[in-house]
Structures are given as structure tokens and as C-alpha cells.
Structure 1
Amino acid sequence: MTGTSHRTVTRRRSDGLLAEDLGPVVDELCRLLPAWLPGRRWYAGKGRALGEVRPVLAEIVVPGTPALLQTVFRTDAGECYQLLVGAVPTPVDVDRGVPADAVIGSSRTADGLSLTLYEASSDPELLSGLLERFVAAAPCGALEYHRLPGAEIPAGLRARPLTGEQSNTSVAYGGRMMLKVLRRILPGANTELEMLAALERAGDVPSARPLAWAQTAGRHGAEPTTLCILQEFVPSRGDGWSIATAEAEACIRGECESVAPLGGFWDDAFALGQATARVHTALAQQLEARTLSLPEAVELTDALVARLDEALVEVPDITPYARGLHTAYQDLREVVRRGNPLPIQRVHGDLHLGQALRAADGWVLIDFEGEPGHPFEERRRPQPAVRDIAAMLRSFDYAAHHALGEILGVPPGQRTTRDLRVTRLARRASAWAVHSRRGFCAGYTAAGGQDPRTSPVLLRAFEADKAVYEALYEARNRPEWLPIPLAAVRRLALGSRIAG
């Protein structure tokens, strides 16, 4: 814990949390968090017992009643998490609207004041107070708040917490700005800030403009660590996942506006492919882009094989297809060994339908943080652009199966094939996915990207890697969804790509 000071103050009840209370409150949080933290959707250690947590940083960023603490705690597994902690005198005013599951517990100050401690990411008043830190762009103890050159940050905007994210928390301010509160904290500068700044320099790229960020002060030679990113808010009619699944469901039912089951999302998929190509072009121009060397190709395929071997231990259903998957990865290495150049560059790194917003003038890609939990050095490593494309193609497959599951009233991927109606609907779902995948590839090519279908070895290898990752994830978190990636693993092990 850093940045706290001690002074003698005569308390008034209206003072709320004072600086000298911070130490005892943080100590109490360390006692309470092992029971509370594992229930958060952004907690990465699910399935592991949480022993103790230790404070890394704690500052009072919004003083008064209630007060807001910006904190970082380290678990016994070495993972660090950021919490925005509200502290309000007990009993809590019912008008605050604090959800029951947000309450962490209670603490008592040295002079007997009882405080309720809660995760404040749903408290508009405190989140509006946090915005004022970015407006002032002044340090607060061990925290720093920075603006990008030319960024305008209006004060006094009402905060509106957003829902639906898994790994981070987002807050909208007056429909003009969005604050991303990073939950799992890794040392160093966050890659999303770097990527958004590069896209802003490129100009006319479908992404959100970065405005400001918060970071640790980097004292005693430590590298500053990004905690929050403030960026332009993108008004939209929804994200790609919600729009695609709705369109897929309509087409599977035979209710889509164009010819079922092949319509309903072609134009959107085509436009999304165009947006992805524009982002890739800008990243290649602004950041590192070069050709993969043979040693790097060996290292890359070794990593693919290692991920497969890890998955085989936990998902034995993959075993019958292991040989075909190994062949797909070795084919990729052989392409480079024969002297075929393989361009690599910075890529999104975690692209799927949920990472795109349908704005008034087209698709906007968001969340350039990369794969959550991976070291920043790994996320910055140049990759073939086809890795992003393969991930998006897998997302279309998921959307189709999800829509089919909604229609049948069963978990995605689980159905009986003895029913002729079910078989007919399943064929429509597959046709929708194929049509959308082809539309995306066509749009990507039309916007100047290399047609991924002309590099079948690359596409197969990276789709297979993504499907293996999905199988491992589903086995760990949603076993009822496991049939979706297993079907893709089977198809890709046998050598099929776009058509499935």
C-alpha cells in the first residue's frame, strides 16, 4: 500500500473516511476479500481456493461521504486486481441503490465510526467524482491521471455503469465518454492505450478515440502500470454478437428479410470484414510489421502444439483429432520453410463479434487490450493478421449455434438429430454461419486485405488453434457448450475451413 499519510484531525460525522482511517479499512478489506472476490465475473482464479490477499495500492480518490478508494490487491496466486471501493457510514442510505452482491462487508474506524464497504462500479455519484480526477489531470498520492494531447474532458457528466463485460468494467459519461476500469492488473503500460493511440494517428479508422488514462506513479524505479482508460463513447444500436444472434435466429426460423437461410447478416458481415481490414492496415502502418522468420515460425508452431497438448490433458474428446491438428500446425511451418513470406504485424488479439459495435456509420472495433491475462510482452508480439480473421470466423459459428439453442430451448450444441425438424433447423444454422463467414472474408478482401481463403494452410492452423482454445475454455466453464468447438475441431482436423 502506498501514498497514505497520517495527521491528527478531529472527526466530524460528515467527514466520512479520513486519511488516517485508510490503513484499518485496507486491513479489513484483506480479511473480507478472500470470501468476496471469487464471486466476481472478472476474477480469473475460478475453481481455486483463495487464501489471503495483500494490498498493493490504496488511495482515497473521492473524499467525503461516501468516499471512493481506488485500490489494487494481490492474491496468493500472484494475480493483481483493481477494485473501486465505496465507503459509506452504516446504515447505507437506501437511495444509494447498492446491489446486495456489491457489498464487501463492514469496517470500523479507530474512533468508532462504522463503515459499509462495497464495490462502487455501480455507484453513479462516486463514478462521477472519479471523472473529476481525469478533468484535473493531477496526481493523487501514488496515482497519476493523464490526458492525451488535445483531448477535451468535460466536467460534471453523470456516470452510467454499463453491463455485459466479463474481464473489465465500463462506465459511460453522458453519452460522450467511456471509462474502462481494468480489473486484472499487469505490470506496465496497457496495450489497448498504445493500440488506440496508433489508430488515432492513422485517422479515419473504425475505433474509439483515446482521451486519458490513470496509472501508478512508478516510484522507486517501478514501471508505471495502467489502471483505467478513458475514451470516446461510441453510440450504437448494439454489439455484433447481439445483432448477429438475432439475425441468425430469424433466418433459422425462416423469418429473415432476405432469402432464408442465407440472408439476414451478409451485408453486416461484409461491412465488418471491411472494418477489420481497415484496422489491420492502420496497425501495420503505425506499428511494427515485417515478415516471419523461420525460427519464429518454429516457435509459433511449437506454441500451437503446446496449447493442443495442454488441452488434450483436460479435454480427452479432442484425442481422436490430435493427429490431424498436429498436421495442420506442421503444414504452417512447412509453408514458411519453403520460403513463402508470412507477413506479421500487431493485431487485435481477441477479436470476436462482441468486440464490434454497430454505429450509425458502420462497424467500430473495440477492446484492443488483447487476450486477458496474457503478459503485455506476449500481446505486443507481431502475429499474422489471419489470427484475428480466424477468431472472427469462429464467432460466426458460435452465433449460429447459440441461435439454434435458443430456438430449440436446449444448451447450444446439444440436440437430437432424430427429429427431422431439428435436423432441418440445424442445417439452416450451418448455412447461416457459412454464408456470414464468406461475407466477412469478401468484405475483408474488398477493403484491401489479403483474402484469407487464398491462404488455406494459415487459416486452417489458426482456426484449429482457436477451436482448441474454445474446447478447453468450455470444458472448464460451460461443459454444455463443448459440442460447438468439438465440431469445429473435427472439421478442421479433417482439413475443411470456410465451408463449416
Structure 2
Amino acid sequence: MLDELLAAWIGRQRWFGGKGRPIDELSIDSDVELSPGLRHLIIAVWQEGSRDRYQVLVGERDELPDRLNHALIGTVGETYHYDAVHDPERMGLLLDGMAHDETRGGLRMRHVPGVTVDTSPRSVVLGAEQSNTSLVYGDAYICKLFRRLIPGVNPELEIITALAARNAPHIARPYGWIETDLDGTGTTLAIMQEFLSPANDGWDLALTSVRDLYASLPQVPAGEAGGNFAAESRRLGTATARVHHELAEAFPTDVIEVHEVKRMAESFRRRLGLSVAEVPQLREHVGFIEHVYHQVELLTTAVPVQRVHGDYHLGQVMRTPTDWVVLDFEGEPGQPLSERRALYSPLRDVAGMLRSFDYAARHLLTGHSRAAELEPRAQEWADRNRAAFIDGYIEGGGVINQADAALLRAFELSKAVYEVVYEARNRPSWLPIPLAAFRPRAS
């Protein structure tokens, strides 16, 4: 039976969120034939009393070409069942469906009003993702399929369509989406956007800069080394401020009053207490962190809040030939949709990017034979690029006054505390990277 094959197969997939835990039960909640040989499934997976739902596009063939062997789910009788996202002969249907606003068995495929979708490109799967699957159609489109399904409109679709309607810069243009009803709620299954083919990932560019700095002579300052990245960091700061401005124009804004700001500081402190209990290496930094949090408690003015990116780092931005583009506005995938749509200070995004600069600076030191010798260079690179990003953010219209600076520092340290726990659980050798955040610094 297909459900038994899926139960044996799904635990090995990169995008499956329950790896390492036994599957108690798997059932097929929805089974829609999109065309002969192609079925869209929504499957429910029960583990330790909780349920998650995933979408799987299942292809069926009497004979399986060698190019699809890696996608095999299993056989039922003489029919091969496989993960059809890897089959460009089948995935053209999604492109065609969005181009023509088709509805098939409850799946609504739609294109953004006013755009034309070219249905001729063939698809190929990007291989780097963890939680979703993206199909690239030629050099025109990228279609992100959300594997784990949460009822509701995905925040990314909501944001990019609103910003595109305003002709906002610094985003990848949306072209279409696929949706269905889950628990009686319209739910995003996929989003198709402009594919930025002549672009480079921000994380990769930053690491190239750090490598060049490490390879340069010790007496060469970071600003003179071949991998100087500060100009790009400044441009990225400017682009970030402009995205925040567009978000504030496109969606409602608000303020959180002083008593709510104090509660936020209390929540930071509670997380710190729990984190110290789990990671004792944090204990020696508690005094410094508490001092930073206390500065937030002393604030006497309300804090503006708005829609933000929510999961902002160098891996979420692309450098095109003309400027920076911001991707993946869906927020932290593990959080409920209500939290991902909530209003926050834009400084939360700024803090996330500052943490990303620290990670880029020290990532290559993990296991490096000259790590101690290169640490000052890592600090120099991080400080230079953090400062450039902040300068660009202010230049682009972002506001960081004295009160904002205190809140930004608290956001950053709260993020670093979270990172400490994450690294201790998953990559202990990386623990020195977030721990370095608790050394006093100028920026």
C-alpha cells in the first residue's frame, strides 16, 4: 500500500521535520489526480502524539527511467511511485496551471494579476534546501513548494504580493501561487517568483571576503585586503531600511508601550535563565547580558512596531548586478503563523543581520589550525562590516537613536543566547561563535 511506502520513505527526506523520532501512524488526508500519472497528496504523520501534514507530488510510471531512481518511493504491483518534483515532464503542469488559473480537485493554481507566465521552461530541483523544495524553470522562475503545511496564507506570499503592487525595489517579483483549503482555511502550497539567475548568495559572498582576508598578510587591514566587503554591507544596510519602509507603508503599524517593552525584557531574561541551565558556558556572561537587558527596562518611550522579515541573515539576501534583493519573507518556519505575521521592531531584523556578520567572520575558524591567530582578524572583519551595515541602514532612512541602540543590543544578545543553545545541541564545535557575542564591543 502507498501509505506504507510513504511511511518508510518520508523519514529519509531532508525536508521531513520529524527525523530521529519513530512514526506512529501515517495517513493520506487528500489525494488529487492532477493528470494521468501525477497525484497530489497531503499526508498526516503522527509522532509522539502530535500531527504534522506534508504535501507530496507522487508520480506513477510502469517503467522508471534511471534519472528518477533517486526519487523512488516504492512499487505497488507493477507501478513505480516516485517523488514527482524531480520529473520535469510532470512538473510542467504546475507552471501551466498557474499561467491559466486552473483549479483541479481543490487545488487552486493562480498567477499574479497583470503578469504573463511563460509555460515553456523545463524544471530542475534546487538541492540545497532543508525544509522546502524549490523548482527552477529555465532562468525565469523559481517555485517554492512548502513541504510541511500549516493552515493559512504564507506570510511570504502576503508580503511579496503587497510589495510588488507598490513596485517596491529589493524583492524578487512574484508570478503565481498554489493553494488549497486545509481545516477550512485557505492554505499556501507553493509560491512562484522571479529567478535571480545572475545573482550571488550573500553568505557565499561574505565567506569569500573572509577567506581573502585570512589569506592576506597579517599587517594588511581588513579595509585594504582583497576581500573588502564593507561597501556591500553598507549597500545591504540601505536596502534593508528601504524594505522596512515599504513594509511599513504596505501593512498596519503600531507601537508597544513602555510596560510592554519591560515585559519583552523580562522574556529575554527568562530565556537566558533557561539557557544557562542547559549550557553552563553562558554563566560567566550573565552579568554582562543582564546589564544590556536592564538598559531596555530603563526605556521611557514607546517602541514602533511593524511587519518585518523575521528571519533575516546573509543567506536570505542575493546580490544582483544592480543591488541587493531580499528573499524568504516567511519568517521562522517553526513558529506559528500568528507569530510570523505579528508586528515587531524592525531592529529585530537588524540584529539578525549583525549576528550573521559575526557568523560569517568566525565560521571558517571552526577546526582551523590557526584559529587563535586569526581571531583578531575575524573580529576586525565583523566590526567593520557591522558598522558599514548600520551606516547604510541609517543612510537608507532607518532610525537608530540612543533608545533604539539599547533595544538593538538586547535583540542581538537574545539572538546570541538562542544560538548558544542551538549550537550546544547540534554543533558543539561552533559554540565559540555565538559565545564571542558576549564580549563588550563598540558596535
Q: Provide the TM-score with structure 1 as the length reference.
A: 0.82
CA–CA distance in structure 1, aligned partners of residues 40 and 382 of structure 2: 44
Aligned counterpart, 2:76: 107
State the Cα distance separating 1:99 from its structure 2 match: 5.0
Asked if the contact 1:325/1:464 (under 8 Å) is kept, the reply is: yes
The answer to whether 1:350 aligns with 2:350 is no
- The farther-off stretch of 233-242 and 448-457 is 448-457
Name the CA shift for 1:333/1:118 in 2 (closer, same or farther; >3 Å).
farther
CA–CA distance in structure 2, aligned partners of residues 183 and 435 of structure 1: 39
CA–CA distance in structure 2, aligned partners of residues 183 and 431 of structure 1: 40
Q: 1:426 aligns with which of 375, 386, 389?
A: 375
Secondary structure in structure 1 of the residue aligned to 2:21 = coil
Name the CA shift for 1:104/1:390 in 2 (closer, same or farther; >3 Å).
same
Aligned counterpart, 2:407: 458
Asked if the contact 2:261/2:303 (under 8 Å) is kept, the reply is: no
Q: 2:108 aligns with which of 139, 144, 149?
A: 144
State the Cα distance separating 1:291 from its structure 2 match: 1.6
Alignment of 1:280-291 (within 5 A): 280-291=244-255
The answer to whether 1:87 aligns with 2:60 is yes
Aligned counterpart, 2:428: 479
Q: CA RMSD in A?
A: 2.4
Structure 2: tracts of 5 or more residues without a match: none
Asked if the contact 1:269/1:440 (under 8 Å) is kept, the reply is: yes
Q: 2:89 aligns with which of 125, 128, 150?
A: 125
Aligned counterpart, 2:194: 232
Aligned counterpart, 1:30: 3
Name the CA shift for 1:208/1:319 in 2 (closer, same or farther; >3 Å).
same
CA–CA distance in structure 1, aligned partners of residues 412 and 401 of structure 2: 11
Aligned counterpart, 1:177: 141
Q: 2:45 aligns with which of 56, 62, 75?
A: 75
State the Cα distance separating 1:261 from its structure 2 match: 5.0
Aligned counterpart, 1:59: 32
CA–CA distance in structure 1, aligned partners of residues 224 and 215 of structure 2: 8
The answer to whether 1:254 aligns with 2:227 is no
Aligned counterpart, 1:276: 240
Q: Which runs of 4+ in 1 moved over 4 A?
A: 255-263
Amino-acid identity (%): 38
State the Cα distance separating 1:422 from its structure 2 match: 4.2
Structure 1: tracts of 5 or more residues without a match: 1-27, 109-113
Q: 2:127 aligns with which of 163, 166, 171?
A: 163
Name the CA shift for 1:99/1:480 in 2 (closer, same or farther; >3 Å).
farther
Secondary structure in structure 2 of the residue aligned to 1:212 = strand
State the Cα distance separating 1:309 from its structure 2 match: 4.0
One-letter amino acid matched to 2:293 = Y
Name the CA shift for 1:468/1:422 in 2 (closer, same or farther; >3 Å).
closer
CA deviations over 1:62-96 (Å, ceiling 9, x no partner): x23xx22222222212222222222222x4122xx
Asked if the contact 2:212/2:227 (under 8 Å) is kept, the reply is: no
Aligned counterpart, 1:308: 272
CA–CA distance in structure 1, aligned partners of residues 422 and 38 of structure 2: 35
Aligned counterpart, 1:364: 325
CA–CA distance in structure 2, aligned partners of residues 79 and 327 of structure 1: 41
CA deviations over 1:347-368 (Å, ceiling 9, x no partner): 0000110101111111100000
CA deviations over 1:106-158 (Å, ceiling 9, x no partner): 223xxxxx222222332222222221221221211121112221121121221
Aligned pairs, how many?
438
Aligned counterpart, 2:342: 381
Q: Provide the TM-score with structure 2 as the length reference.
A: 0.92
State the Cα distance separating 1:242 from its structure 2 match: 0.7
Higher Cα radius of gyration: 1
One-letter amino acid matched to 1:243 = L
CA deviations over 1:40-63 (Å, ceiling 9, x no partner): 2222223333222222322122x2
Name the CA shift for 1:177/1:359 in 2 (closer, same or farther; >3 Å).
same
